[in-house]
Amino acid sequence: MPAAPAPPTRTLITVAPTGAESTKADVPALPTTLAELVETAVRCEQAGAAMAHVHVRDDRHRPTLDVARLADTIAALREATSLVVQLSTGGSVHDPLEHRLRVLEARPDSCSLTMGTVNFGDDVFLNPWPFVRELYDATRSAQVVPEFELFDLGQVATLHRLLDGDGLPYGDRVHCDLVMGVPGGMPGTAAALVAAVAALPEQTTSWSATGVGRTSLPVALAALGAGGHLRVGMEDTVSFARGRPVEHNAELVERAALLAALAERPALDTGGARELLQVRPGPW
CA atoms of 225 and 37, how far apart (whole Å): 31
Residues near ligand KMH (CB under 6 A) are 19-21, 88-90, 92-93, 112, 114, 120, 125, 149
Interacting positions 70-89 with Zn ion (CB under 5 A): 88
Q: How far is CA 115 from CA 128, 158, 245, in A?
A: 8, 6, 31
Quick check: 260 and 224 in contact, CB under 8 A? yes
Is residue 63 within 8 A of residue 69, CB to CB? The reply is: no
Residue nearest to Zn ion (CB): 88
Closest CA to 122 of 210, 187, 213, 184: 184
Beta pairing class for 51-54 and 13-15: parallel
Give least dist CB 18 to ligand KMH, A: 10
Determine, following the binding rule CB under 5 A, whether residue 32 of this chain makes contact with Zn ion. no
CB of 215 to ligand KMH, least distance (A): 16
In the bound state with Zn ion, the residue whose beta carbon lies nearer, of 91 and 169, is 91
Report the SS3 class of residue 24: coil
Smallest gap from residue 24 Cβ to Zn ion (A): 17
Q: Which residue is nearest to ligand KMH (CB)?
A: 90
Q: Does 237 bind Zn ion (CB under 5 A)?
A: no
150: part of which helix (H) or strand (E)? Answer: strand 145-150
Measured from the CB atom, the residue of 231 and 248 that comes closer to Zn ion is 231
Does 92 interact with Zn ion (rule: CB under 5 A)? no
CB of 2 to ligand KMH, least distance (A): 31
From ligand KMH, Zn ion, none, interface partner of 92 (C-beta below 5 to 8 A by class): ligand KMH
User: Among residues 261, 194, 187, which one has the least CA distance to residue 223?
Assistant: 194
Please state, as a whole number, how many other Cβ atoms lie within 10 Å of the Cβ of residue 177.
26
Residue 49: CB atoms within 10 Å = 36
- Side-chain half-sphere exposure of 142, counting CA atoms within 13 A: 20
To the nearest whole angstrom, how small is the minimum distance from the Cβ of residue 262 to ligand KMH? 28
Q: Does 208 bind Zn ion (CB under 5 A)?
A: no
Residue 64 in contact with Zn ion, rule: CB under 5 A: no
Pick between residue 115 and residue 265 the one whose CB is nearest to ligand KMH. Answer: 115
CB of 193 to ligand KMH, least distance (A): 18
Residues that bind Zn ion (CB under 5 A): 88
